[in-house]
Amino acid sequence: MKFHRTKMDSNLVWLEPGLNIKRWLLVLFLGLVALAIGAAYLLKDLYSGRPYPPEVYFLTLQFLPRWTRALVFGVLGLAVSAVALRKLYVNGLKPILDLQEGESLPILLLSRKRRERGPKVVAIGGGHGLSSLLHGLRLYTENITAIVTVADDGGSSGRLRRDFGILPPGDFRNCIAALSDAEDLVQLLFQYRFGGGIMGGHSFGNLFITAIASITGSFEEGLKQTGKILAVHGEVLPSTLTSVTLCADVVSDSGEMPEVCGESRIPGAGGRIVRAYLRPKSPPAYPEAIKAILEADAVVVGPGSLYTSILPNLLVPDIARAIRVAPGKKIYVCNVATQKGETEGFSLADHVEVINDHLGFQPFHWVIANDNFSQERRLGSGVSFVRPEDGKLQELDAKVWFSDLVDDEMPWRHDPLKLAEAIVSLLDADERGENTPRKVLLNTYEHLKEVTIQ
């Protein structure tokens, strides 16, 4: 997994390996040379043994020495070819690729090639955390598979789930939008939410997925076709095709421990969550999700709501078993801040312990955690940054990778670019046997131009 690049002039990018351009330019050059030799032989045969007509004599520069003629025609041929290629690019390739003013074709091609050859990453979760992670990761690799919880029962997704008997489309919509290369207007349309009337609260994307699932005959096929329409790079898969309900045992202030069922109801139950579980208890995993986990170079769990976004995926038994035996690196991304109704007062170790207790084993090689706590005053009441506890961390059977992950605008959330850079820095350093962060260059046009490794 090689992510790093060096700063260079955009024109020199044509010389970089991996573009698959230079070899075909060489083939083109050899073809033109062969064509020129053929034309020369034709002229030679046509006028062999007889004088050249005046026009041929002057056009072929017969009055100049042979090496001078070769040099003149060589320079002229290169100049004409360069002008022709430039015009073909400006009038043909550029409009097709829809390059913006100031963008460089070689840098764009190189960034796309590098993302196409990027590592296979499986991201598991749901809610805003998963879509935020995908926003950042897509800048490094196009080989992304998002495995999404199907326990959502609130809002538009819950209404569509009850009315049409489909899996909740909301988290899938967000992930598809995060991985899409569609025009900005198309993405805005897909995320548009109706404000009133009988459609009030529904997003266009949720309705679109519901409609296309009905047309294609299945939810999973509807996701695939939606991905094609929105030019998604990667896959978005459900953890299970079974309609599951998330339940939890919640200890109230009075000491009672009622059962609360419904993903949307658990955070508002007003107590401490002891254990979460699914009904039915052991839903079968979606086979494509298992295949993706077993083939991944890295499996990333989180960020997201611990009990209502992350655990619903891990509580599918086959998903947990696949993670346990998967050969790739397994990484848990801990939340930046605690969450009301789920993780008040939780430390870093508490988050990991909850997952370990529910799975019965410790699945992670690495835990990624935030170490920037400077904006805690901007967090809401009852919310605090998730901090490490040295004593507990020593008990974890996993290495911890600290980095500044805070979104400057919303410090209770991860910054997508910071998080993605932390993940690929970790993978790059782990492959090299290092334990310190390294700056890793994004495979995007802007960063290929402006950023260097430190």
Question: Could you report the per-residue pLDDT of 27-60, keeping only the tens digit for each?
Answer: 777 888 888 878 777 766 766 666 667 766 677 6
Binned average pLDDT, 10 residues per bin, the chain of 454 residues: 47 60 75 80 66 70 75 81 73 57 61 79 95 93 96 91 93 93 78 85 93 95 93 94 95 84 91 94 96 97 95 97 96 96 93 95 94 90 86 74 94 95 89 60 41 32
| Helix, strand or coil, per DSSP, at residue 41 | helix
Handedness of CA 421, 422, 423, 428 (dihedral sign): positive
Cβ atoms of 298 and 331 within 8 Å: the answer is yes
Encode pLDDT of 62-77 as tens digits: 777 877 877 887 788 8
Which one-letter amino acid corresponds to residue 200?
G
**118-150+239-450: CATH architecture:** 3-Layer(aba) Sandwich (3.40)
Rounded-to-integer distance, Cα 206 and Cα 285, Å? 23
Contacts with 266 (C-beta within 8 Å, 6 or more apart), sequence order: 246, 248, 250, 260, 273, 276, 307, 308, 341, 342
Please give the C-alpha separations between residue 192 and each of 5, 148, 152, 264, in angstroms, as whole numbers.
37, 21, 19, 22
Rounded-to-integer distance, Cα 49 and Cα 275, Å? 99
What residues pair up with 298 in beta bridges, in sequence order?
121, 329
Q: Token pair of 236, please? A: 């978005």
| Helix, strand or coil, per DSSP, at residue 259 | strand
Strands of 259-261's sheet in order across: 259-261, 245-251, 272-279
Strands (E), 280-316: 298-301
Where along the chain do the CATH 3.40.50.10680 domains lie?
Answer: 118-150+239-450
Contacts with 412 (C-beta within 8 Å, 6 or more apart), sequence order: 336, 337, 379, 380, 383
Closest CA to 370 of 339, 331, 395, 335: 335
Cβ atoms of 259 and 249 within 8 Å: the answer is yes
